Amino acid sequence: MKKILAFAGSNSKNSINQKLVEYVASKMDSHQVRVINLINYPMVLYSEDEEKDNGFPGMALGLKQEISEVDALLISVNEHNGSWSAFFKNIIDWLSRLDRNFLEGKKILLMSTSPGKRGGVSSLEFAKNVLPRFGAEIVDSFSFPSFHDNFSVTSNTVTDETLLLGLNEVLSTFAHQI
Ligand SMILES: Cc1cc2nc3c(=O)[nH]c(=O)nc-3n(C[C@H](O)[C@H](O)[C@H](O)COP(=O)(O)O)c2cc1C
């Protein structure tokens, strides 16, 4: 049984990516998954002056430590104007300053969702290109389109059968590969 840390790249209280992460985490019963909410990891906006004058935010040190303790990560990125959110970029910038290889040896299942048909795929592709710079191995990825049409928050279920089959296949592959 491997250890997995799961989170969404969003600071929205009603984040649909966080809902997707929580759903997927609940299905990964062959591993030990811990879901965190990055809202609880506030970090001042990165600047070189901030780093020089005040050092690293405690939450960046804490998150880096939590990442170092697991085998794999389950991440769902939101999409703001074709990329991941400024909130998530800020976290990645701080972590990269702490350790350029902060994702070394980490296997990642990368996801994205949005209310639109593209399901945040631009942000997903961006994350697929950028995260390996820090040592990550992206094992698989999944973009979940039109979240509100295909997911029931009340019953915590995927309502579209084809999407459910695709997602199950990705989860099963990831569970075997980590
Ligand atoms: C500033 C801003 C930009 C956005 N840009 C996009 C976009 O480029 N593509 C997209 O699919 N959705 C876009 N959206 C809609 C988000 O996908 C939607 O707000 C979604 O709920 C964000 O995910 P989250 O709830 O996990 O934070 C944007 C929303 C905001 C506030």
Residue closest via CA to ligand 1's atom 19 equals 114
Query: Phi and psi for 55 in degrees, rounded to 5?
Result: 75, -160
User: What does the alpha-carbon distance between residue 125 and residue 121 come to, in Å, rounded to a whole number?
Assistant: 6
pLDDT in the model for residue 93? 98
Mean pLDDT of 8-26: 98
**For position 161, what pLDDT does the model report?**
97
In whole angstroms, give the CA distance from residue 167 to residue 144. Answer: 9
In the structure encoding, which two tokens stand for residue 13, read together?
């209280």
* DSSP assignment string, 76-141: EE--BTTB--HHHHHHHHHHHHH-TTTTTT-EEEEEEE-SSTTTTHHHHHHHHHHGGGGT-EEEEE
| pLDDT computed for residue 119 by the predictor | 98
Q: What is the mean pLDDT of the chain?
A: 98
Nearest in space to 141 (alpha carbons), one of 102, 92, 178, 108: 108
Residues within a 6 A CB radius of ligand 1: 8, 10, 12, 15-17, 78-82, 114-116, 118, 120
17 neighbors 113 (Cβ within 8 angstroms): yes
Q: What percent of the chain has pLDDT over 70?
A: 100
CATH of domain 3-177: 3.40.50.360
Percent of the chain with pLDDT over 90: 100
pTM of model > 0.85: yes
Domain boundaries of the chain, sorted by first residue: 3-177
What are the tens digits of pLDDT across the range 55-81?
999 999 999 999 999 999 999 999 999
- Residue 7: predicted pLDDT: 98
Torsion of CA 137, 142, 143, 148, to 10 degrees: -130
Segment 90-96 mean pLDDT: 98
Q: How confident is the model at residue 105 (pLDDT cuts 50, 70, 90)?
A: very high
**pLDDT at position 100:** 98
* Atom 28 of ligand 1, residue of closest alpha carbon: 80
Give the distance, in angstroms, between the CA of residue 49 and the centroid of all CA atoms in the same chain: 28
Probe ligand 1: pick from 81, 111, 144, 153, max atoms within 8 Å of CB?
Answer: 81
Tell me: the pLDDT tens digits for 30-46?
999 999 999 999 999 99
Expressed in angstroms and rounded, the spacing between residue 53 Cα and the centre of ligand 1 is 33
Query: For a substitution probing ligand 1, which of 13, 78, 150 has the most ligand atoms within 8 Å of its CB?
Result: 78
